[in-house]
Amino acid sequence: MKKHLLYLLCPLFIAAANAQESADTQALRDYAEKSGKKIGVAVPVWRIDVTNDGLPETQAVYNNFNILVAENEMKIDALQPNRGQFEFYHGDNLVNFAERHGMTVRGHTLCWHKQVSGWISSDGGQKNDHNYSREELLEILKDHITTVVTHYKGRVHEWDVVNECLADDQSIVRTNPTAYALRPSVWYTGIGEDFIDSAFVYAHRADPDAKLYLNDYGVEMQGSAKTQAYYNLARRLQKSGIPIDGVGLQCHLTVGELDSAKFDNNVKRYASLGLTCIVTELDMSIPDLGAADAYEKQAAEYRTIANVLIKYDHCPNLVIWGVKDDQTWRRGEPLLFNAAMQAKPAFYALYDVYKEYAENLPAGIESTAADAVGELPPFVDVYDLMGRSVARQMPRERIYDLPAGLYIIDQKKMAITH
Ligand code: 9MR
């Protein structure tokens, strides 16, 4: 506790807090690695220069974290501002930075209803107001995903393939407990529901080793309709043979909102689907910054989240959505470092969780970052568009090598294209 106060009160300790504690030479990422986990951060590359390893911000990033995410620079509008013109400069700088410092990279995001280039959708991704046909939009999606994932093959280790595709209103699950509703977007409106299936297949074909994720917000706590809808969608994709590896729970939370039992119950059940479940965008706003224990309460909720994830092999990653409190999309000082780059109690809460776990690993157990082991049946049925069976009992891994054309797979008869 004393060490925490020291870091908070004395700016001279900024550099030390960035890296590690003077009394303890292990950094946050060291303890995470020893625990078999990864701890990540999203970096706003337009504000933090990742070509400069000497900044307090970049030092804090590579000293403490072992996963890196571009907060904005790998979204469609950044990567393909004009049709066929790809801009990899900022994304490449971020990947180079990560490689210099032994970090893995999460790519965010290949398909979203926001930050979509104007040539695809004039309002940033919601309307199909250039009136593209289904085939044209599939071609645009395929070309974007294939080009980007191929460019970063072997260097970006996992992708948020489809981001925030669920509608906020999921009252449909009250009458149909296995249903889900999708939000309107250029992709959904123009292509149909199987834009999701196709996006995963395109990404998998471009880099079969990359881990592929759905990602969404408001899906963290068991009991909410949207949480159930997210599970339903993930289950449908997985059972349809779509190459999905896991789900991301964004966790944009406010202090007081977290229910540890509901969070735990929700996280836990993805294991039975053979999916990983990771936290992808954690930030924890403080509603009343004037309260005496504001930062301690915030720290307690960070701690709770880490304590849940650390228990489960199918929960390998925890990613924080930003580096410092004055460079975030949210109010309420939601991050681990303050504007002066001093580590906050929330930082030490995470530090303590990983340290304690790493130091108490059962003897003889080697820690490894976990990969989910899917319980998939080995064969699937394949149909053509007319519903005719074109292959009975095809090995599941061959689905993605099918010749160009439109196929329907599995009992659910969802389309995967091209
Ligand atoms: O943090 C991002 C912010 O800088 C952008 O202005 C914003 C634009 O939509 O996107 C923010 O990141 C979002 C992420 O990509 C998806 N989940 C919600 C995040 C916060 O809005």
* Residue 380 DSSP class: E
Q: Which atom of ligand 1 is nearest to the CA of 114?
A: 9
Of the three residues 360, 383, 399, the one that is the final residue of a domain is 360
Number of domains in the chain: 2
pLDDT (tens, 9 = 90+) of the chain, 418 residues, equals 334 433 443 333 333 445 444 457 799 999 999 999 999 999 999 999 999 999 999 999 999 999 999 999 999 999 999 999 999 999 999 999 999 999 999 999 999 999 999 999 999 999 999 999 999 999 999 999 999 999 999 999 999 999 999 999 999 999 999 999 999 999 999 999 999 999 999 999 999 999 999 999 999 999 999 999 999 999 999 999 999 999 999 999 999 999 999 999 999 999 999 999 999 999 999 999 999 999 999 999 999 999 999 999 999 999 999 999 999 999 999 999 999 999 999 999 999 999 999 999 866 555 544 433 334 455 666 665 555 566 666 665 555 555 444 454 444 444 454 4
CA pair distance 213, 109, nearest whole angstrom: 10
| Strand-pair category, 317-320 with 38-43 | parallel
Active-site residue set: 164, 281
Is residue 402 within 8 A of residue 382, CB to CB? The reply is: yes
Beta partners for residue 253, in sequence order: 284
313 located within any domain = yes
Looking at the fold, whether 42 and 146 belong to one and the same domain comes out as yes
What is the structure's pLDDT at 385? 52
Q: Which atom of ligand 1 is nearest to the CA of 108?
A: 15
Ligand 1 close to Cβ of residue 114 (< 6 A):
yes
For 123, left (φ over 0), alpha (ψ -120 to 50), or beta?
A: alpha
Looking at the fold, whether 387 and 408 belong to one and the same domain comes out as yes
Distance 381 CA to ligand 1 centre (A): 39
CA pair distance 287, 330, nearest whole angstrom: 11
Looking at the fold, whether 385 and 241 belong to one and the same domain comes out as no
Dump the DSSP string for 37-58. Answer: -EEEEEE-TTTS-TT-TTSHHH
Looking at the fold, whether 388 and 334 belong to one and the same domain comes out as no
Looking at the fold, whether 340 and 262 belong to one and the same domain comes out as yes
Q: Which of 110, 166, 217, 321 to mutate to test the pocket of ligand 1 (most atoms within 8 A of CB)?
A: 321
Ligand 1 close to Cβ of residue 325 (< 6 A):
no
SS3 347: helix
Dump the DSSP string for 94-154. Answer: HHHHHHHTT-EEEEEEEE-SSS--TTT-TTSSS--TT---HHHHHHHHHHHHHHHHHHTTT
Looking at the fold, whether 314 and 413 belong to one and the same domain comes out as no
Of the three residues 360, 378, 404, the one that is the final residue of a domain is 360
Looking at the fold, whether 337 and 379 belong to one and the same domain comes out as no
Looking at the fold, whether 143 and 215 belong to one and the same domain comes out as yes
22 located within any domain = no
Ligand 1 close to Cβ of residue 72 (< 6 A):
yes
Q: What is the largest CA-CA distance in the chain?
A: 71
CA pair distance 315, 152, nearest whole angstrom: 24
Looking at the fold, whether 188 and 322 belong to one and the same domain comes out as yes
CATH number at residue 233: 3.20.20.80
69 located within any domain = yes
Looking at the fold, whether 255 and 287 belong to one and the same domain comes out as yes
What is the structure's pLDDT at 361? 81
- Going by alpha carbons, the residue nearest to atom 16 of ligand 1 is 163
Looking at the fold, whether 167 and 67 belong to one and the same domain comes out as yes
Determine whether 228 is exposed, middle or buried from the number of CB atoms within 10 Å of its CB (0-12, 13-18, 19+).
Answer: buried
Looking at the fold, whether 247 and 373 belong to one and the same domain comes out as no
Q: How far is CA 175 from CA 18, 96, 219, 227, in A?
A: 51, 49, 19, 15
Ligand 1 close to Cβ of residue 327 (< 6 A):
no
For 321, left (φ over 0), alpha (ψ -120 to 50), or beta?
A: beta
Q: What is the domain range of residue 218?
A: 28-360
Tell me the whole-structure pTM to 2 decimals. 0.86
Distance 42 CA to ligand 1 centre (A): 10
Place of tokens 């993805």: 270
Sequence-distant (6+) residues with CB within 8 A of 310 are: 35, 37, 353, 354, 357
176 located within any domain = yes
5 located within any domain = no
